[in-house]
Amino acid sequence: MRDDNPIDIPVEMKRTKISEIFEPSLIGSEVSVKGWVRTRRGNKNVQFVALNDGSTVRNLQIVFDLSKFSEDSLRAVTTGSSIHVTGRLVESMGKGQSCEVQAETLELYGTADPESYPLQKKGHTLEFLREKAHLRPRTATFGSILRIRSALAFAIHKFFQEKGFFYLNTPLITASDCEGAGAMFQVTTLPLNNLPKTEDGAVDYSKDFFGKPTALTVSGQLEGELGATALGEIYTFGPTFRAENSNTPRHLSEFWMIEPEMAFYDITDNMDLAEEFVKYCISYALENCRHDIEFLAEHFDKELVERLEFVLHNDFVRLTYTEGVEILKASGKKFEFPVDWGTDLQSEHERYLVEEHFKKPVILTDYPREIKAFYMKQNEDGRTVRAMDVLFPKIGEIIGGSEREADYDKLLARIEELGIPMKDMWWYLDTRRFGTVPHSGFGLGFERLVLFVTGMTNIRDVIPFPRTPNNAEF
Ligand code: ATP
Ligand code: MN
């Protein structure tokens, strides 16, 4: 077929993605490839282009023989430009690649002026690339991160779907501000420079779009419980918004959360599921994103693969908050924030337990009720609740969850004690009024998981378009 008339290459020859081109059976055939030029180098006889099309971290080498191509025709083939090449795929003599394309035709889609293309050079810092967030997906690093992120999202759906969980979509705009998980972004169509007022001078929200104050959700859990107490086992996977002004490498103002919620699960079932779930995601990434993980390991984090495999092959340590606090106090270590029973653990405490004391992921349970949300199941001791936080090396808290308080009276008492308005809560309390069941759930911050799997250290680098205080440009 093609070999019969090598000169007359069909115009509509099917494009091969670079991720598929390293297939040995393709050697010797004519191929059509399209992508962005990473580099061009060479001499006056031959020019080499490293081509990438985003399908893989691997570049394809294109060889331009200057007896077939004029130097002029290659002048605009610079870093960042986009091209279409056809030619024969042959085994490569050069180091570092198994095959290369001997170019026969070249079509230039778009130039990228070397004077102004921001990613002209290799080896930009991650800080620099954050300023160029609109173009950084074109780099090898961000290509890898984004492919891993996509694979993890798929793994999450696969895990839950194969277990018979149902994907439930909870609202992004909510009227209840009682989740207590963080400050909220208000949603309004009222004119901010001319607010309607009631007689006593307050903002008249009856004139607002929903007739009441609304905000972007900080968690889908409360609605998730409505799903779980009907469908049995559900999970959410969607964006959440927190207006907390915490400029840390682990917090975003807009992040994605996975929140499974399960009827008839107690805290132990909940911990078992959380552990199985994160291990599944990590092992999926190791199996399906090997090149990307190895690339990131080589450039950023030499121990990455080892750390991922370590987490896979070890049981998470389970202990109570009280036991954790005792270990921290006995450690003799000087922490920036002192530890005492009743205080919330800081990231430095969580990481001490995980990285220095146990050297394994840790699940801490039974936290003081005062530092946890109202919906957590109250323990017999009257002081603690059946909470569970999963703590990871380098990350700290990756999952927060609990068995939920299923008893109507106890839940109501706690809501009243905290002064949470009933207008926000009546529908939630109905789950306990009608056919209440023991149930549990947790929330995994998707970007924290992507941080762990990629070995990156700043959460701004694992979401395509990070939203943080003072940053919503791209
Ligand atoms: P932290 O103590 O780290 O601020 P949290 O206790 O406020 O977290 P939860 O309300 O329990 O977090 O949310 C569940 C999960 O969502 C957390 O375990 C974490 O993985 C993730 N998460 C929480 N806040 C953020 C944020 N601002 N950016 C990214 N992920 C977050
Ligand atoms: Mn938490």
Judge if 39 and 178 occupy the same domain.
no
pLDDT over 90 at 467, yes or no: yes
Which among 248, 257, 364 is the best mutation to test ligand 1's pocket, defined by most ligand atoms within 8 Å of the CB? 257
pLDDT in tens, 272-310: 999 999 999 999 999 999 999 999 999 999 999 999 999
User: Which position has the higher pLDDT, 123 or 320?
Assistant: 320
One-letter amino acid at 155 equals: A
Mutate to test the pocket of ligand 1, among 389, 397, 459, 463 (most ligand atoms within 8 A of CB): 397
For residue 445, which ligand has an atom nearest its CA?
Answer: 1
Q: For the chain, how many structural domains are there in total?
A: 2
Contact 399, 447 (CB under 8 A): no
Q: Residue 396 CA: which ligand 1 atom is closest?
A: 3
Q: What is the mean pLDDT of residues 164-193?
A: 89
* Residue owning the nearest CA to atom 26 of ligand 1: 251
Q: Whose CA is nearest to atom 16 of ligand 1?
A: 445
State the pLDDT at residue 302. 97
264 in any annotated domain: yes
Q: Do 93 and 174 reside in the same domain of the chain?
A: no
Q: Is position 48 within any domain?
A: yes
Mean pLDDT of 131-154: 97
251 and 322, same domain (yes or no): yes
Residue 203: φ, ψ to 5°: -65, 135
The tens digit of pLDDT for each residue in 419-444 reads 988 888 999 999 999 999 999 999 99
Residues 337 and 388 in one domain: yes
Residues 151, 106 share a domain: no
Q: Show the domain range for 392.
A: 137-182+218-461
Q: Is the CB of 432 under 6 A from ligand 1?
A: no
Residue 474 lies in a domain: no
Per-residue confidence band for 6, with pLDDT thresholds at 50, 70 and 90 = low
Which pTM was predicted?
0.95
The answer to whether residue 380 sits within a structural domain is yes
Per-residue pLDDT for 9 more than 90?
Answer: no
CB of 252 within 6 A of ligand 1: the answer is: yes
Q: How many other CB atoms are there within 10 angstroms of residue 366's CB atom?
A: 23
Q: Is residue 469 part of a domain?
A: no
CB 391 within 8 A of CB 353: yes
**118: confidence class by pLDDT, cuts 50, 70, 90:** very high
Closest CA to ligand 1's atom 25: 251
- Ligand 1 within 6 A of CB of 407: no
Average pLDDT across the chain, whole number: 94
At 345-397, the pLDDT tens digits run: 999 999 999 999 999 999 999 999 999 999 999 999 999 999 999 999 999 99
